[in-house]
Amino acid sequence: MRVVSWNLLWQNGAGIDDLGRLVETHRPDLVLMQEATLPADALTRQLGGFCVRKAMSGQLYGLAVWSPRRFTTTVEPLPVASKFDLPVPLFRLIDARLALIVCLDGLQIATVHLDHGQIANRRQLRHLLRAHEQLHAVIGDFNALGTLSLTGFADVGPRCATHRAKGLVPLRLDRCLIRGLRCTNAVSLAYGKSDHRPILMDLEPI
């Protein structure tokens, strides 16, 4: 299964035409999107296939999933961050976060856009894995700095920086954690209009 994950950058970021070129070039089985603002029906009109989008609470953007094949989804609310976190949330809002779990071809794959707080995003990951014990993969914008260690999961995403913070500082925020699967290929693609690189993984059952 070829999976692409991309934080589109909701303000003046990647749009339908950019997604169309990505799908045409790489032929993914599943596209996972963060900071998606485009309506699901607009994506299916442009790309065909099937799409689900879930807005984050109080936000114009959210998570979205597209595939040329039918799939089912489940939404999992994630724990809200605390003001006692690092970095201290003085100049950012603490938003409610969610995970969108996709079931396709017998695999359960969650896409996430986790909190910037380094305590919070790890707590959100642990909650997701407790709530959905059969997950094969968690993919998306983790906003996590440094190493992530989750029992039974391997970090198989591209090892390069995937985000330019404020256009300057390169960070590896976009991750792919898997279990019960093998990754035969993992690459990062061009930024395009976003400040995040899309990441592409070819996954197969072990």
Q: What is the pLDDT of residue 90?
A: 56
> For the chain, what are the domain ranges?
2-205
Sign, CA torsion 24/186/111/82: negative
Q: What is the pLDDT of residue 91?
A: 60
CA–CA separation, 66 and 20 (whole Å): 11
Query: What pTM value is reported for the model?
Result: 0.94
Q: What is the pLDDT of residue 105?
A: 96
Q: What is the pLDDT of residue 81?
A: 87
Q: CB under 8 Å to 25, separation ≥6 — which residues?
A: none
Cβ 3 vs Cβ 29: under 8 Å: yes
pLDDT tens-digit map of 21-35: 999 999 999 999 999
Q: What is the pLDDT of residue 187?
A: 98
In degrees and rounded to multiples of 5, residue 112 shows phi and psi of -140, 155
Cβ 30 vs Cβ 104: under 8 Å: yes
Domain spanning 2-205: CATH superfamily: Endonuclease/exonuclease/phosphatase (3.60.10.10)
Q: What is the pLDDT along the chain (206 residues), one digit of tens a residue?
A: 999 999 999 888 899 999 999 999 999 999 999 999 988 899 999 999 999 999 998 888 999 999 999 999 999 999 998 877 877 655 667 888 999 999 999 999 999 999 999 999 999 999 999 999 999 999 999 999 998 888 999 999 999 999 987 767 889 999 999 999 999 999 999 999 999 999 999 999 99
Cβ atoms within 10 Å, residue 137: 27
Q: What is the pLDDT of residue 85?
A: 80
Q: What is the pLDDT of residue 38?
A: 85
Amino acid at 26: H
CA–CA separation, 195 and 148 (whole Å): 22
Beta bridge partners of 204: 182
SS (H, E, C) the chain: CEEEEEECCCCCCCCHHHHHHHHHHHCCCEEEEEEECCCHHHHHHHHCCEEEEEECCCCCCEEEEEECCCCEEEEEEECCCCCCCCCCCCCCCCCCEEEEEEEECCEEEEEEECCCCHHHHHHHHHHHHHHCCCCCEEEEECCCCCCCCCCCCEECCCCCCCEEECCCEEECCEEEEECCEEEEEEEECCCCCCCECCEEEEEEEC
